[in-house]
Amino acid sequence: MIRIKRVYEPAEPEDGARILVDRLWPRGISREALRLDSWYKGIAPSSELRKWFHHDTSRWDEFRRRYIAELDSNPTAWGSLAELVLSGDVTLLYSAKDGRHNNAEVLRGYLEAKL
């Protein structure tokens, strides 16, 4: 099972492996407080795409399309995460304020479709 959770939400036993999927470290939170298992920086949207999107929901559909294209062009970035998903529960951690329009949501859908 793939869950998504904002980094500021508390860790729970059912989270499984907790994976940060943002390119930048979240503000105001320590590594210890995050209770992180791994940080997949390379799976996050490119800096250019992230800056272009800038959490503008009117750009959401295009952001999704572009991010999926980035993932398609770099299977090495998501391949090891897919293997981790197949071995047990995973929670993808993101720092965006919007729970519906964020890269973790796109990534979860992408991985579910691939698996």
Give the span between the Cα atoms of 33 and 54, in whole angstroms: 26
**Cβ atoms < 10 Å from Cβ of 21:** 26
Q: What is the pLDDT of residues 19-44, one digit of tens each?
A: 999 999 999 999 888 999 999 999 99
Q: What is the pLDDT of residues 5-18, one digit of tens each?
A: 999 999 999 999 99
pTM here?
0.94
Maximum alpha-carbon separation in the chain: 36
Structural domain boundaries, residue 103: 2-114
What is the tally of structural domains in the chain?
1
